Amino acid sequence: MAKEIDIAKTKEGYLKFMEEHKNIVLNMVNEEGRPFASCAPFVKKDGKFYVYISQIAEHYRHLESNEWIDAMIIADESNTPNPFATERARFGCQPKNIGNEGHEEIFELFNDRFNPKLLEVLRGLDFSLFELTPTEGRYVVGFGLAFDIDIDGNVFNHVVVDKKNKPGVTA
């Protein structure tokens, strides 16, 4: 008999996981169509991620030229009891460069989460704010513990694989 999953407790763990992490892994393709991965500090607001990227960073131009990227937040492997079931949240996102001017509410979130003096310096440089709009998400917290999600946890559906049939989703 399968162990019952406490969805509310798992969702609470997901929200804590998202709040504890400050970097997001960005996966896209480069000009040659090859996979490219990088990472950046992030904040979230109104169901979207925001990253602040220098124009000289390789991932800047890749974010600008890709209509779709994957973004992932992953647990520290030193705290992962089983590397085959590492806690992680992955999102398919549409990136958009929204510039460096305005958006004070987003910059306040960066100030609250990171060093405000550093952000003040970065705002005087060649950085631009990118908005990443998730269209789908998947949270994995262990074997048999995968959930289709949205960024804020308003959608949190357990993914169940019926080994006799095709994968499905239960609420």
Phi, psi for 138 (deg, rounded to 5): -140, 125
Mean pLDDT of 138-146: 93
Mean pLDDT of 141-167: 86
168: helix, coil or strand?
A: strand
91: helix, coil or strand?
A: strand
Query: Using one digit for the tens of pLDDT, what is the confidence trace for 74-105?
Result: 999 888 888 888 999 999 999 999 988 889 89
For residue 13, give both structure tokens: 């763990």
CA distances from 13 to 20, 107, 137 (A): 10, 27, 16
Q: Is residue 125 over pLDDT 90?
A: no
Look up residue 154 and give its DSSP letter. S
pLDDT at 10: 95
Amino acid at 9: K
Query: Using one digit for the tens of pLDDT, what is the confidence trace for 6-32?
Result: 999 999 999 999 999 999 999 999 999
From the centroid of its chain, how far is CA 128?
18
Highest CATH level, class, for 7-170: mainly beta
Q: Is residue 3 over pLDDT 90?
A: no
**Contact at 8 Å (CB) between 143 and 85?**
yes
Name the E strands within 6-162. Answer: 23-29, 35-45, 48-54, 69-74, 88-99, 127-142, 145-149, 156-161
Rounded to a whole number of angstroms, the distance between the first and last alpha carbons of the chain is 19
